[in-house]
Every structure is written in C-alpha cells, then in structure tokens.
Amino acid sequence: MSLSNEQVNEIAHLARLRVDEADLPEYASNLSAILSFVDAMNAADTTGVEPLAHPLEMPQRLREDAVTEENQRERFQAVAPQVEAGLYLVPRVIE
C-alpha cells in the first residue's frame, strides 16, 4: 500500500486537518507504512466471522426519555474561544 501526496491531501481534507505542503511526503511515507503493516490482517481467513464491536457484546442500556441535564450554558461557554450573547461565534457562513 502506497499513498501519493494527493491522496494524503484528500484524506487530510476529509478529516478537516490542514497539513503543510512540505510535510506531505513524510505523512505519505508514514501512512503508507502503517497501512502496509495493517494489511497483514489479510493473512487471516475471516470468512463467515461475525464482526465484534463491543468486547462484552452487551446491548446499549435504555433509559427513560426524561431531561436529566441541567442548563450550564455559562459554565460551558466560559471555556469557548469566542461567544456573544450566549452564542458561539464562527466566521460568517452565509453572505
């Protein structure tokens, strides 16, 4: 498995990560090495094996559909980069 710089750029875009042009070759080489390493899994025959998502295979617990969280807006917004009038601010999206 060998990834090109362009492929790394595309993956970085999907992950919303800015990667400097100069760092692309190193990421390409490292990610290719990791993907080649995980390709070793292909040595195992997994035909008909049910995937395991949760080690104890427990179902998700259900609870009453009731409000349990109290409003802590000010506490949570105190750690936000930029807020105004109780709202989170981001650059303008709609002109």
Partner 1 sequence: MSDTSKTVAELAAGLAAGTFSSEEITRAYLERIQGAGADLNAFITVTGDRALEAARAADDRRRSGDAGPLTGVPLAHKDIFCTRDVRTSCGSRMLDNFTAPYDAHVVERCQQAGMVCLGKTNMDEFAMGSSNETSYYGPVKNPWDTDAVPGGSSGGSAAAVAARLAPAATGTDTGGSIRQPAALCGITGLKPTYGRVSRYGMIAFASSLDQGGPMARTAEDCALLLEAMAGFDERDSTSVDRAVPRYSQELTGSLQGLRVGLPKEYFGDGLDPEVARVIDAAIGEYRELGVEFREISLANTELAVPAYYVIAPAECSSNLSRFDGVRFGYRCESPRDLEDLYKRSRGEGFGAEVKRRIMVGTYALSAGYFDAYYRKAQQMRRLIKNDFMAAFEDVDLILGPTSPTPAFNIGERADDPVKMYLSDLYTIAVNLAGLPGISLPAGFAGGRPVGLQLIGNYFDEGRLLNAAHRYQQVTDWHTRAPGAFA
- 3-class state of residue 45 by DSSP: coil
**81 binding partner 1? (CB under 8 A):** yes
Interatomic CA distance for residues 12 and 4, integer angstroms? 12
Residue closest to 31 by CA, chosen among 45, 11, 16: 11
Residue 43 in contact with partner 1, rule: CB under 8 A: yes
Residue nearer to partner 1 on the CB measure, 60 or 85: 60
- Would strands 87-88 and 83-84 be described as parallel, antiparallel, or unpaired? antiparallel
- What is the rounded CA–CA span in Å between residue 33 and residue 27? 10
Least distance to partner 1, CB of residue 46, Å: 4
- Separation between Cα atoms, residue 32 and residue 5, nearest integer Å: 11
Select from 55, 66, 70, 71 the one that contacts partner 1 (CB under 8 A).
55
**Does 5 participate in binding partner 1 (rule CB under 8 A)?**
no
| Closest distance of CB 84 from partner 1, Å | 13
Where along the sequence are the contacts to partner 1 (CB under 8 A)? 8, 11-19, 27, 30-31, 33-35, 37-44, 46, 49-56, 58, 60-61, 63, 72, 75-76, 78-82, 88, 90-93
